[in-house]
Structure 1
Amino acid sequence: MLLRQLFDRESSTYTYLIADRATKQAVLIDPVLEQVERDLQLLQELDLTLCYCLETHIHADHITGTGKLREITGCLGIVPENAQVACADRMIKDDETLAIGSLIIKAIATPGHTDTHMAYLVNGHYILTGDALFIRGCGRTDFQSGDAGILYDSVTQKLFNLPDETIVYPGHDYRGQTVSTIGEEKQWNPRFVGRDRANFIVFMNNLNLPNPQKMMEALPANESCGKVSC
């Protein structure tokens, strides 16, 4: 298996390239519009065929690169079930699997940051957590039908029930961290350690964070697979 973690500095977004080395088939998870040329160059250099662009959720802080990548490569765009994206080629359901050559990507519904969020378990060992779980943090829950209690349930009942050695690759990081494990986050993540569900809800509901800078542009664009209105 080939796995590359790619970073967009403006939105602090991680995009993941996963490929089967034998078949040269690849998937990009959470591509960013401004990084499409970077991603295409890497695909070309590694002699990979992009089969899918896979979203963890409908993003509010950046515009997806799925639409542009689909136009150029002919790949399919996949979003979580019930996401408000009419232009997607396919919806992926909880517990559904996606095969990339010999690789198996399993969708795990982890709502809370948004109401249609998915994490993706790769070959049973790597979990791409999107905005549900960060390294020593988690995604916000104050817009896009977010719900702090539901996020607490998603993380503690689904993600934290994975084996401790499961490697965690988050959707964002704002402090230069790249990778963790489920065991580390269960022990050290300050959003969850020592908090019950009620305390977590109070904490999350009082963060008072500013809206993402691109929110008004990104949400409608991402509901159109990254198409920006003129």
Structure 2
Amino acid sequence: MCIVEIRPGEGGADALTFATDLAETVTAWAARHEWSVQRATAEARTTILVLGGVPVSQVGWLAGTHRLQHEPRNDRRGRRHTSTATLAVLPEGPAVTAPEIRNDDLVIETMRGRGRGGQRKNKVETAVRLRHMPTGIVITRTTGRSQAANLASAQAELEQRLQERAERASRHATDATRRRQVRAERSAKAFTHNSQRHEVVDHETGRRWTQRAWRQGRLG
């Protein structure tokens, strides 16, 4: 299973239309191979296509910046415009889970509680400072009426923080993969779609398609 992300680049409304057309091409190509497709629109006008049962290696060759060269119908001067859209192919990884918290990785300190809570809280070591050695996360709890309550609260927050760290790391890895594949500038190009010649060119392999074949998903 893989995820195809298509985003409009430079070119305003033309780029948005171009990105939509790319999504239609990938959808048509998937249909020809009888691959399942789930489609959604994410933030920043990103189109997400989830292709079921398809490895990244089979779709990855489409990744990169697609450049459209065309003459808009409303431009009476006949000037050629260039718009871009980016296509990234990403693996769908397993659900992100935080690493297991091992007792050996924890340092627990106790101290007297402060503030309101009665004499017992202020005289007995009910407060807890929890340190997670692998990450350096330190959590202090002083408001609970017992040491057990403060320790449980600190451990719950530690689990939450570790989960958030794991999710951030996963996002950063995905972002790095995306950056390696695409650049949105007009000068960047993996594919050129030329409306005057009615063709699409893969600059890495030199393969060419007619625009009609491309739009119908007849990519080979």
Fold shared, TM-score > 0.5 on shorter chain: no
TM-score when normalising by structure 2: 0.25
- Relative contact order higher in (CA < 8 Å, ≥ 6 apart): 2
Structure of greater Rg: 2
TM-score when normalising by structure 1: 0.24
